[in-house]
Amino acid sequence: MSKPIRSRGLRELSPARLVLSYLLLGGWAFVVLFPLYWLVVTSLKTPIEVDSGPVYVPYVDFQPTLDAWHYLFFDLGSDTFRPYLNTVVIGLTSSVLALALGAAAAYALVRFHYAPRLGAIGVFIGCVLLATGALLAGVPWPLAAGAGLALLLILLQTIGRRFRRALGNNDIAFWLISQRMLPPVAVVIPIYVLFQRLGLLDTQVALIVTYVATNLPIVVWLLRDYFSTIPLELEECAAIDGASTYRIFWSIVLPVAVPGLVATFLFVLVFAWNEYLLALFLSSARAQTLPLTVVAQNATRGPQWWYMSVLILIMILPVIGMAIALERYISRGILVGAIKG
Amino acid sequence: MQLDVHPAQGSVQAGPSLQAPAPARVEPQAHTLWPGGDRVAHNVFLWPALLVVLVLSIFPLLVSLYLSLSRFELVPGGFEFNFVGWDNYQTLLFGSERIHFLGLLKPPALGGWLVFGGGVAALAWWLARAARDPRVHAGGLGGRALVALLAAGSLWLLVGAFSPGGRPGTLLVTVIYVGAGVTLQYGLGLGLAVLTTQRLPGRRFFRVVFLLPMMITPVGVGYMFRMLTDTGKGPFQPLWKLLGLTNFSWVTDPWGARVAVIIGDVWQWTPFMFIVLLAALEGQDVEPLEAALVDGASPWQIFRALTWPAIIPVSSTLILIRIIEGFKIVDLPNILTNGGPGTATESLTLHAYIAWRTFDLGGSAAVAYGLLFVVTVVGVAYVNLVRPRLTEDP
């Protein structure tokens, strides 16, 4: 990270190029900001003003009102705050957990050497298949899981050790990252059934666990590249001084990697904050998150644009802070290590 | 599964700082958390993540496979899954869902035949060249043959769907979303990133603004664009009126609706391309650039000769991510157009979701597996065939 960063720009621009650049930048800024402006304006309108055709500027061609805001914050009150709280709790918890598990795995894949035997993997997959088959055939799940585990251990000690071909760290990493290819819709029904059996449907736990699983691949992928840019000498010194692996990871690696951790955390948090499809399947009333609340404003009488605008706006507000933080890390060239090809 | 761990070996993919991988001896010492702690450390670090992914990805995937081979039926007192073999897939590819999934295909006109013939000839030439290349092994050749076959199949879908009277199915619509979306996002993102690396007062403001769309929930983006494209109540109503389109609705015209979805998708995801390309541009080495400036190179020359080769590796990864994520598109068409008119804007995920909503769980799982198959083939083909070419000899 010590090499010079192009952050100052190279040379003064000629006036013509300066004007052209500002025109282009301003044009796209308008494209980005106008929809947001329209949200703000719509949230200040009454239903009649929305339905009778467009009006653009408050105080000029219509009288703004805080009716929609008042309705959502005071009349509905808990029906607005509960999803908000859910979103905050689920977003933060799942992102912290994904970051913790993912950072450990990414570090392990960079610094340790793994060589899982192909035979062992084959045995494992076979046992999972058998247990799943038993489950679908109506065997109660503790029995299926127990029998599968027992079979796995027995086979591992016998057949599992016979095959010499082994996979490496890169294969494990590729496998983990490739889980991101999995369309959520392909796994959501079994996950639904799983949480239903465990009695966890419509709880925050169900969503937290699911988001951790969907976000882990991206955490491992970003942090693996980031950790590999950290010089090994630091850790070697600590090891010579007698620090344990955990101690090295906690007191040396993590503090050095804070910028990468923050950037990754923000990416993951934004995903969990905005996710809709999985939340739709796994929560209904108690654990409802904000995207669901937004969609719920599409009532039988058509979309309630004014309420929707308020909800989308209060979802965006905390995220603007994140955009500023992310930009700061980018401009210091910190993400570069994490995304090199 | 047991991991055989050799704790004394160094990192396999050492970063740039480790040209010669020195063995990282992390010896078990006195200050472990518990006796022998360091020997299990390797497992402690890796297994939690592996377990979570195994339980919530692999297990559900296997169950989904079974679902896709069965039919969900409501019976008195509950429901049951009856094994039906390949029925669900047969329905998708040859049966009643064929038009929905693959599209309504008509025999192509002369132009269509020319496009299809040209495409097949190009694929055949590519295969023949690979067959004569000594570096390509039998496995690689088989993979290429599969890719060529699937590419020819998709080309046939494309040509058939665009012939008079034909229309694309959810598979082709999804591919169109991904193709058009990723291309536009990359172009716009690169342009904006180049503009904001210039020496401009106030560029940090622009950078933060450009990041915003990525941070908004896709559902919100869907409703926002529904408001904006409304020809009666939207802000552009005077414009529509001027063009005499007041009774026209984007959402009732198949291509208008698809374009609306693509615009929304581009609006939302250009920031992702922008932020990563910006980081890549900022991380470029300054010295060659300055040397080129001193030598009097034009900005375009500098971009072609120095900047472009430097950002190609990042670009190839970035495009891969967006392709993978783009195939999962669902919220936008669901909210913006409800998949309509008819099924014109339905993506594969939305198709699966609608099937699920109508209790066709087997059909839903079959569509999801179709999507998984397409994403995997495209992803693996990209990683093995396109990316090496981009990153090796620019």
User: A227 with A318, same domain?
Assistant: yes
CA atoms within 13 A on the CB side of B355: 30
User: A221 with A136, same domain?
Assistant: no
The answer to whether residue A2 scores a pLDDT higher than 90 is: no
How many degrees, rounded to 5, is the angle at CA B220 between CA B375 and CA B270?
Answer: 55
User: A231 with A301, same domain?
Assistant: yes
pLDDT, tens only, B114-145? 998 999 999 999 988 888 888 777 778 888 88
User: Is B27 near chain A, with CB under 8 Å?
Assistant: yes
User: A211 with A225, same domain?
Assistant: yes
**Residue A298: its chain B contacts at CB < 8 A?**
223
**Residue A336: its chain B contacts at CB < 8 A?**
279-280, 282-283
User: B228 with B341, same domain?
Assistant: yes
**Residue A180: its chain B contacts at CB < 8 A?**
324-325
User: A230 with A129, same domain?
Assistant: no
> Tell me, what DSSP letter sits at residue B168?
E
Angstrom distance (rounded) from CA A32 to CA A24: 12
User: Is B295 near chain A, with CB under 8 Å?
Assistant: no
Min CA distance, B110 vs chain A (Å)? 38
The answer to whether residue A336 scores a pLDDT higher than 60 is: no
Residue B364 placed within a domain: yes
The answer to whether residue B91 scores a pLDDT higher than 60 is: yes
Q: Which of B56, B295, B320, B332 to mutate to test the interface with A (most CBs of A within 10 A)?
A: B56
Angstrom distance (rounded) from CA B210 to CA B193: 10
Asked if residues B217 and A324 have their Cβ atoms less than 8 Å apart, the reply is: no
Measure Cα distances from A1 to A231, A257, B152, B207 in Å: 11, 12, 46, 21
Residue with structure tokens 């959520």? Answer: A184
| φ, ψ for residue B201, nearest 5 deg | -65, 135
User: A149 with A122, same domain?
Assistant: yes
Q: Please give the structure tokens belonging to residue A51.
A: 């339905």
Predicted local distance difference test score (pLDDT) of residue B158: 86
pLDDT, tens only, B162-185? 888 888 889 999 999 999 999 999
Min CA distance, A191 vs chain B (Å)? 6
User: B56 with B199, same domain?
Assistant: no
User: B62 with B99, same domain?
Assistant: no
CA-closest candidate to residue A276, choices A289, A259, A261: A289
Residue B293 placed within a domain: yes
Angstrom distance (rounded) from CA A220 to CA A260: 12
pLDDT band of residue A164 (cuts 50, 70, 90) is: low
- Whichever domain contains B302, its CATH number is 1.10.3720.10
Asked if residues A118 and A238 have their Cβ atoms less than 8 Å apart, the reply is: no
Angstrom distance (rounded) from CA B158 to CA B173: 10
With CB atoms and an 8 Å threshold, state whether A235 touches B225.
no
CA-closest candidate to residue B269, choices B216, B209, B230, B197: B216
User: B77 with B196, same domain?
Assistant: no
Residue A5 placed within a domain: no
CA-closest candidate to residue B351, choices B83, B102, B74: B102
pLDDT, tens only, A218-274? 888 888 877 887 778 878 888 888 888 888 888 888 888 887 788 788 888 988 998
Residue B330 placed within a domain: yes
Q: How many domains does chain B have?
A: 2
Min CA distance, A192 vs chain B (Å)? 9
SS3 A46: coil
User: B64 with B134, same domain?
Assistant: no
Residue A280 placed within a domain: yes
With CB atoms and an 8 Å threshold, state whether B213 touches A191.
no
The DSSP element (H or E) to which B146 belongs, if any, is helix B138-161
Q: Please give the structure tokens belonging to residue A287.
A: 């654990």
CA-closest candidate to residue A124, choices B364, B51, B335: B51
**Residue B237: its chain A contacts at CB < 8 A?**
53-54
Asked if residues B282 and A330 have their Cβ atoms less than 8 Å apart, the reply is: yes
Sign of CA dihedral A166, A169, A171, A175: positive
Closest residue in A to B273 (Cα–Cα): A339
Closest residue in B to A104 (Cα–Cα): B45
Angstrom distance (rounded) from CA B194 to CA A193: 48
Cβ-based neighbour number of residue A258 at 10 Å: 10
**Residue A181: its chain B contacts at CB < 8 A?**
324, 372, 375-376, 379
Q: Which of A181, A212, A251, A334 to mutate to test the interface with B (most CBs of B within 10 A)?
A: A181
Predicted local distance difference test score (pLDDT) of residue A1: 39
Min CA distance, A72 vs chain B (Å)? 17
User: B109 with B168, same domain?
Assistant: yes
Say if residue B115 is exposed, middle or buried (CB neighbours under 10 Å; 0-12, 13-18, 19+): middle
Cα–chain center distance at B237: 34
pLDDT, tens only, A19-32? 999 999 999 999 99
Predicted local distance difference test score (pLDDT) of residue A330: 63
Residue A3 placed within a domain: no
A to B CB pairs, distance under 8 Å:
406
Min CA distance, B124 vs chain A (Å)? 29
Residue A59 placed within a domain: yes
User: Is B306 near chain A, with CB under 8 Å?
Assistant: no
Single-letter amino acid, residue B185: Q
For chain A, percent of residues with pLDDT exceeding 90:
18
Residue B18 placed within a domain: no
User: B254 with B222, same domain?
Assistant: yes
In the predicted model, what is the mean pLDDT of chain B? 81
**Residue B39: its chain A contacts at CB < 8 A?**
none
**Residue A10: its chain B contacts at CB < 8 A?**
199, 286, 289-290, 293
User: B117 with B67, same domain?
Assistant: no
With CB atoms and an 8 Å threshold, state whether B42 touches A108.
yes
pTM of the model: 0.84
User: B68 with B215, same domain?
Assistant: no
Q: Where are the alpha helices (DSSP H) in chain A?
A: 15-43, 47-51, 67-70, 78-111, 118-136, 141-158, 169-178, 184-197, 204-227, 233-240, 245-248, 254-256, 258-274, 277-282, 290-296, 305-331, 336-339
User: B173 with B315, same domain?
Assistant: yes
Residue B377 placed within a domain: yes
pLDDT band of residue B38 (cuts 50, 70, 90) is: low
Min CA distance, B290 vs chain A (Å)? 7
> Tell me, what DSSP letter sits at residue B109?
-
CA-closest candidate to residue A124, choices A162, A159, A86, A96: A159
Angstrom distance (rounded) from CA B15 to CA A257: 14
pLDDT, tens only, B219-241? 999 989 888 888 777 788 777 77
pLDDT, tens only, A83-126? 999 999 999 999 999 999 999 999 998 888 887 777 777 778 78
Say if residue B373 is exposed, middle or buried (CB neighbours under 10 Å; 0-12, 13-18, 19+): exposed
Residue B23 placed within a domain: no
**Residue B207: its chain A contacts at CB < 8 A?**
327, 330-331
Predicted local distance difference test score (pLDDT) of residue B264: 93
Asked if residues A310 and A68 have their Cβ atoms less than 8 Å apart, the reply is: yes
Sign of CA dihedral B93, B99, B102, B104: positive
With CB atoms and an 8 Å threshold, state whether A10 touches B67.
no
Name the more confident of B246 and A308. Answer: A308
Nearest to A3 among B56, B280, B285 (CB): B285
Nearest to B227 among A117, A290, A305 (CB): A305
Angstrom distance (rounded) from CA B381 to CA B323: 12
Predicted local distance difference test score (pLDDT) of residue B392: 62
SS3 B21: coil
C-alpha torsion angle, residues A145, A151, A154, A159 (rounded to 10): -130
Cβ-based neighbour number of residue B184 at 10 Å: 18
CA-closest candidate to residue A181, choices B189, B391, B181, B369: B369
With CB atoms and an 8 Å threshold, state whether A232 touches B327.
no
User: A52 with A104, same domain?
Assistant: no
The answer to whether residue B2 scores a pLDDT higher than 90 is: no
What is the extent of the structural domain holding B46?
42-83
Measure Cα distances from B242 to A56, A305, B225, B247 in Å: 18, 25, 21, 12
SS3 A139: coil
User: A214 with A297, same domain?
Assistant: yes
Predicted local distance difference test score (pLDDT) of residue B327: 92
Predicted local distance difference test score (pLDDT) of residue B9: 37
Predicted local distance difference test score (pLDDT) of residue B32: 40
Name the more confident of A222 and A166. Answer: A222
Predicted local distance difference test score (pLDDT) of residue B15: 36
For residues A306-335, give the mean pLDDT: 78
Q: Which of A93, A110, A178, A187 to mutate to test the interface with B (most CBs of B within 10 A)?
A: A187
User: B64 with B191, same domain?
Assistant: no
pLDDT, tens only, B294-338? 888 888 888 888 888 888 888 888 898 899 889 999 889 988 888
CA atoms within 13 A on the CB side of B364: 24
Residue A207 placed within a domain: yes
For chain B, percent of residues with pLDDT exceeding 70:
87
Residue A257 placed within a domain: yes
| φ, ψ for residue B83, nearest 5 deg | -70, 125
Predicted local distance difference test score (pLDDT) of residue A11: 62
Residue B387 placed within a domain: yes
User: B111 with B72, same domain?
Assistant: no
> Tell me, what DSSP letter sits at residue A298?
E
Residue B19 placed within a domain: no
Cβ-based neighbour number of residue B142 at 10 Å: 10
Nearest to A276 among B22, B25, B331 (CB): B331
pLDDT band of residue B27 (cuts 50, 70, 90) is: very low
pLDDT, tens only, A268-301? 898 899 899 899 889 888 888 989 888 888 877 7
Q: How many domains does chain A have?
A: 3
The answer to whether residue B275 scores a pLDDT higher than 80 is: yes
The answer to whether residue B36 scores a pLDDT higher than 60 is: no
Cβ-based neighbour number of residue A209 at 10 Å: 23
User: Is B61 near chain A, with CB under 8 Å?
Assistant: yes
User: Is B33 near chain A, with CB under 8 Å?
Assistant: yes
CA-closest candidate to residue B58, choices A146, A190, A160, A193: A190
User: A128 with A255, same domain?
Assistant: no
Domain end (from B25, B53, B83): B83
Residue A173 placed within a domain: no
What is the widest separation between alpha-carbon atoms in chain A? Answer: 82
pLDDT, tens only, A321-331? 877 877 777 65
| φ, ψ for residue B78, nearest 5 deg | 160, -145
**Residue B369: its chain A contacts at CB < 8 A?**
186
Asked if residues B313 and B354 have their Cβ atoms less than 8 Å apart, the reply is: no
Domain end (from B83, B108, B142): B83
User: A138 with A34, same domain?
Assistant: no
Single-letter amino acid, residue A6: R
User: A248 with A340, same domain?
Assistant: yes
Residue A175 placed within a domain: no
CA-closest candidate to residue A22, choices B237, B203, B283: B203
What is the extent of the structural domain holding A33?
15-65
User: Is B239 near chain A, with CB under 8 Å?
Assistant: no
pLDDT band of residue A133 (cuts 50, 70, 90) is: confident
* Residues 6 or more apart whose Cβ sits within 8 Å of residue B118: none
ipTM over the 0.90 cut-off: no
Q: Where is average pLDDT lowest: A223-237, B25-39, B126-140, B202-216?
A: B25-39
Q: Please give the structure tokens belonging to residue A220.
A: 């491992």
User: A323 with A262, same domain?
Assistant: yes
Domain end (from B31, B58, B83): B83
User: Is B20 near chain A, with CB under 8 Å?
Assistant: no
